[in-house]
Amino acid sequence: AVNDSEVTPFSVPSYACQRRSTLENHNAVLTDALSLLAEKAELSDEDGRGVAFRRAAAVLKALPSAVTKMSQLTGLPCLGEHSLRVIKDILENGASSEVESTKESERFKALKVLTGIFGVGSKTADRWIREGIHNLQQLRDSGQTLNRAQQAGLEHYDDIKQPVSLAEAEAIRGIVGKAVASVSSEAQIVLTGGFRRGKLTGHDVDFLITHPEEGSEVGLMPKLVSWLESRGLLLYQKTTRNSYLECSEGPGRPPSNIDRFERCLSIFKLSAGQTGSGVQSEETAASPSATERQWRAVRVDLVVSPISQFAFALLGWTGSKLFERELRRWAGHEKGMSLSSHALYDSKQVNGSKGSASAMEEKRSKLISCHVLQGRYIRASSEEEIFAHLGLEFIPPTERNA
């Protein structure tokens, strides 16, 4: 055994967007535990705590080998007292009591089941739990009023909780690609989200669609949805139109983190024939009916972006969610810039002055920027350019799995 004084502590940069996070992870036991606590916090509306656990997990994911001693963690960023306690518990006892009791908790189990229904968030789930609803049967029996998304979510629950395979994602890529080509000969489509990061499974399939001629992307989404609907390929869809230009903030306001692209959240009807092989193997079938009916429901997200914002949209919709959050934090805290899925805004270039603005100056410029354009928007036509503007080394999609 190596004695503590010989242990070399690991070292990683503070922000996840400065690190290369591949899918392989040498500390899965620890990161699973921290991710579960993050999930518990997020389901309890404690977002700050959730992010803290996500950041801690991401630091461990970035380590080149397994952690065996607490002393190896000395000096690592983002590891708070609570996360360190959980790690210590696991290293010393093989498990974390907090994680184990969370897994057993009726409330946590109910929150997971209910928020697993498409269209149900933690607030709704919490209200139902307070009304004594802990599972799907109780929800069905309760006579609760469900909106259209929740009805579809409940109906296709077993299919949607089943991970989407890469083969299924590629099959859907083929169908949506054909639909896009049919409504516009020049429109382009890319697979984003987890599959672009090299994941072999996902909870949904994400696509970004654009047109090489600015403005020609307008009207694409309704045509695309009609094409798919007329062929019976959509079990559910809800389209939200683009609201970027109508936002009350006006063009002089730095972009907010919420993106306003035209989007379509849908549930696809994927036939067995379309994936080449069967939809599900006998072993993984969620229910006998799932194999008998020769199709399955798959969650699909479609987003349309104008070409001028495409690089930002691509970066923003590739994820991971933590990687995106860290990019925005880096931009804001380290560069005096504001990054969204629409644009990069340099708020420190006030009246041509260079160098980083003081917190006071930044606050002041934010206050008056509703009326006067203080900073400037930075154009970019590729992800590489955006990283360069942010002063970051380019991290390819497969290494954004923070």
Taking CB under 6 A as the rule, does residue 320 contact ligand CTP? yes
Residue 321: name its binding partner from ligand CTP, Mn ion, none (Cβ under 5 to 8 Å by kind).
ligand CTP
Report which residue type is found at 232.
Answer: G
Q: Taking the complex as a whole, how short is the minimal distance between the CB of residue 212 and ligand CTP, in angstroms? A: 23
Residues with a known catalytic role: 204, 206, 301
Q: Is 193 in the site for Mn ion (CB under 5 A)?
A: yes
Using rule CB under 6 A, residue 244 touches ligand CTP: no
Residue 324 engages ligand CTP in binding (rule: CB under 6 A): yes
- Dihedral sign (CA 262, 47, 340, 77): negative
Report whether 126 belongs to an annotated binding site: no
Query: Which is it for strands 376-378 and 344-346: parallel, antiparallel or unpaired?
Result: antiparallel
User: Per-residue x/- marks for ligand CTP, 141-180, CB under 6 A?
Assistant: ----------------------------------------
Binding segment for Mn ion (CB under 5 A), chosen from 67-75, 198-206, 232-240, 252-260, is 198-206
Which one, 142 or 201, has the nearer CB to Mn ion? 201
Q: What is the distance between the alpha carbons of residues 341 and 399, in angstroms, rounded to a whole number?
A: 19
CB 17 within 8 Å of CB 327? yes
Q: Say whether 47 counts as a known binding-site residue.
A: no
Q: Which of 50, 153, 194, 306 binds ligand CTP (CB under 6 A)?
A: 194
Interface residue with Mn ion among 204, 217, 324, 362 (CB under 5 A) is: 204
CA distance 344 to 313: 11
Specify the residue, 87 or 195, whose C-beta has the smaller distance to ligand CTP. 195
Q: Is 168 in the site for Mn ion (CB under 5 A)?
A: no
Residue 75 CB contacts under 8 Å (≥ 6 apart), including other chains: 9, 11
Q: Kindly identify the residues of this chain, within the stretch 255-314, that bind Mn ion according to CB under 5 A.
A: 301
- Residue 223, C-beta contacts closer than 8 angstroms, at least 6 positions apart: 183, 184
Residues 6+ apart with CB under 8 A from 57: 30, 31, 34, 35, 38
User: Which one of residues 50, 119, 153, 193 is an interface residue with ligand CTP (CB under 6 A)?
Assistant: 193
Measure the CA angle with vertex 88, ends 82 and 94; round to 5°. Answer: 125
- Among residues 88, 123, 293, 321, the one that binds ligand CTP under rule CB under 6 A: 321
Q: Tell me how many degrees the CA angle 191-196-199 measures, rounded to the nearest 5.
A: 125
Q: Binding to ligand CTP (CB under 6 A): which residues in 328-357?
A: 341
DSSP string, 378-398: E--SSHHHHHHHTT-----GG
The closest of 152, 154, 150, 122 to 135, measured between CA atoms, is: 154
Q: Is 50 in the site for ligand CTP (CB under 6 A)?
A: no
In angstroms, give the least distance from the CB of 338 to ligand CTP: 15
Of residues 63 and 315, the one with the C-beta less far from ligand CTP: 315
115 lies in the binding site for ligand CTP (CB under 6 A): no
Residue 259: left if φ>0, alpha if ψ -120 to 50, beta else—which one? beta
Please report, in range form, the residues annotated as the binding site for Mg(2+).
204, 206, 301
Kindly list the residues in this chain that would bind ligand CTP in the complex (CB under 6 A). Answer: 193-194, 199, 202-204, 206, 259, 316-321, 324, 341
